[in-house]
Structure 1
Amino acid sequence: MTTKRDPGSTVFFRLTIDGESLGNFNGCEGLAAQVDIEQREEGGNNGYVWQLPSRVRHSNVRLTRPINKETAQVMAWISSVATGIRRPTAQIEALRADGSLVARWGLLDVVPVSWTGPTLDPSSPAVATEVLEIAHHGFTG
């Protein structure tokens, strides 16, 4: 008898930049693409408007996790931008709790956009989290 796996429960995300792991994240949002459409009206054809794709836009990806020792690797990657922009390829893998792969996305020409660290306020105890936002120029095959 085969065991059915729940594809969406307890998923975490692993980020690698050119094969170097920046660790696991428990939240990922912004994996999206939008095709801009230009409308062209054809003379003499009043019942039809051409819908022509013009460009593809990709939203920034935001990854969140509790602060841990892998935060230093993220900081090193962000600091490397000061010495010259290099646009590597990234991989985001959605993994189940047992480490098996659910899905994988390759991102072309990634660059860090922002990093937000935790708000350290003793009057409101909460998990210290970080948010990494990256921009990219499209998905790999």
Structure 2
Amino acid sequence: MSYYPPVGFYFKVQISGASSDDDAAFSEVSGLDTEIEIEEIKEGGENAFSHRLPGRVKYGNLVLKRGILAKGSQFAQWCQSVLQSEWNGAVQCQDLNVFLLDASGQPLLTWNCAHAWPVKWSVGAFNANQNDIAVETLEFAYRQLRRS
């Protein structure tokens, strides 16, 4: 059986080390990106080009979307504790794993967002004229992205 190209709709998100039955199911994941900044050095007297050198690595924010959950989960409790901490203590970082799954539910690829912490939690608009699910969006900053 060939797994190329894998489907992008079968995935799960999990706090590293959390139980697999903790509810962290999401309908959309984005922000798994890495970029190397470019530093340009202009040499005096040389107008034909500038030296372009690699700089620091930077990462986007991990953005997770799902239907609003009425019950709390370990994932939601962690986000709530960080975002409502009023900055009276250290931010509790967690490693987040995003698993792209095959047809049998086994991971094909894993992205590890190391030392992640929630930076934004928003709720989508409520509209009485539409028949949409109420959606919440969670956004995380992270220190490093590793793919395995």
Q: TM-score range by the shorter chain?
A: 0.7 to 0.9
Bigger drift between 59-68 and 3-12 goes to: 3-12
| Length-normalised TM-score, structure 2 | 0.75
Unaligned 5+ segments in structure 2 are none
- Give, in whole Å, the separation in 1 of the partners of 2:125 and 2:78: 22
Give the partner amino acid of 1:86.
Answer: Q
* Residue correspondence of structure 1 range 42-57 to structure 2 within 5 A: 42-43=43-44, 47-57=48-58
Task: Report what 1:99 is aligned to.
Answer: 105
Q: Does structure 1 residue 115 correspond to structure 2 residue 121?
A: yes
Q: Distance in 2 between matches of 1:41 and 1:120?
A: 52
Structure 2 equivalent of residue 90 of structure 1: 96
Q: How many residues end up aligned between the 2 structures? A: 139
Taking the aligned partners of 1:121 and 1:49, their CA distance within structure 2 comes to 53
Q: CA deviation at 1:80?
A: 2.2
Identity %: 27
RMSD over equivalenced CA pairs, Å: 2.6
Q: Could you say what secondary structure the match of 1:25 adopts?
A: coil
Q: Does 1:9 align with 2:17?
A: no
- Work out the CA distance in 2 between the residues paired with 1:67 and 1:129: 5
2:121 & 2:79 partners in 1: Cα distance?
A: 8
Q: Which shifted more, 77-86 or 106-115?
A: 77-86
Alignment TM-score, normalising by the size of structure 1: 0.78
Is 2:78 aligned against 1:72? no
CA contact (8 A) 2:34 2:145 kept: no
| Mapped pair 1:33 → 2:34 | yes
